[in-house]
Amino acid sequence: MKEEIGFVKANVHRFKILEFLKKEDASIEKISKKLRIRKNDVEKTLKELEDKNLIFGEKSIYKITDRGEKVIKEAKMR
């Protein structure tokens, strides 16, 4: 998990998106609008987080995984 924490903290978009998805499931458009991050950057970041199994997409709605919740919790504490 240490590797994933470093991965999330190394990029402000990863951290913000994971933190947002901890509060609510959301589409790319909603994440982009709420966090004021360009849609292209949101798509790229979601792919990176999905590749690490920290989130998953289901019918264009993204949700945080249990592992993602643990990682964001630990990342906030460090």
For the chain, domains (ranges, CATH) are 2-77 (1.10.10.10)
User: What is the pLDDT confidence band of residue 7, given thresholds at 50, 70 and 90?
Assistant: very high
Element (H, E) at 57: strand 55-58
CA atoms in the 13 A half-sphere facing the CB of 68: 25
Name, in order, each residue with C-beta under 8 angstroms of 51's C-beta and a sequence gap of 6 or more: none
Please, are residues 17 and 46 in contact by the beta-carbon 8 Å criterion? yes
Q: What is the pTM of this model?
A: 0.94
- pLDDT tens digits, 44-78: 999 999 999 999 999 999 999 999 999 999 999 98
Mean pLDDT of the chain: 97
pLDDT, average across residues 32-49: 98
